Homo-oligomer: A and B are copies of this chain.
Amino acid sequence: MYAGAQVSLYPMADDFVGIILGALHALDPYRDALRIETDDISTLMVGPPEKLFPAMRDLFVAAAKGGTHCVLSACVSRGCPGEPDDPFCTPAIQVGAVGPLKERIEAARNAVVAAALTGQQAAAQFSHYPLGVGHHMDEIYGCIEFLKTSGVFDRPKNFCTKLRGDAGPVFATLEQAFLHFGAPPEGHVTLDVTVSANSPTKA
């Protein structure tokens, strides 16, 4: 298993460097669990798949809490066959489309309900790509059923699904879709994720 994300943070402000540097402390609690490496386009986070969304959520909330329009954009991946198997990425929980769909939908909903609120409103959209061997349309429809009852479902859009709500349940919903739908434990799933706060544009 290899899992990780290429994450970018875009504060729409002259002081974007200060806002990004000020938010980075939010990653401190994750530095033992994730390998983190930055270049001029994105920050790579590699580690157990269940650590990725909490780290991204805390980074996003730390950047957005001052009221600046901020966007977090990420390419999140598990099981990419082009990456080496890495014991560092071994999940501590069950990951993958394992067990009856109905039970996974229920468990995913419960995880979102249990997610702590952050006090930061967010709008998000994402595309869910199950790669490799044929599409499992039951998986896709099951994931959509989960999303529609997640409490943060906004609407379907072309090529993606839109969410809206507190950043806690929004990131929890993205995490559940990533961890428990689309492909078996060793299968390849990616998410193309955009999360936005404080936009001056009306939804």
Contact = CB atoms under 8 A, between A and B. Distances in A.
Interface stretch (A73-81, A92-100, A102-110): A73-81
A152 B124 CA distance: 32
B201 A127 contact: no
A175 B131 CA distance: 21
Nearest to A5: B159
Contact of A75 (B6, B160, B200): B160
A123 B194 contact: no
Contact of A40 (B8, B42, B202): B202
A42 B157 CA distance: 10
A158 B131 CA distance: 16
Contact of A158 (B12, B83, B125): B83
Contacts of A196: 40-41
Contact of A127 (B123, B162, B190): B190
Interface of A: 4-6, 8, 10-14, 16-17, 38-42, 44, 46, 69, 71, 73, 75, 77, 80, 83, 123-125, 127, 129, 131-135, 157-160, 162, 190, 192, 194, 196, 199-203
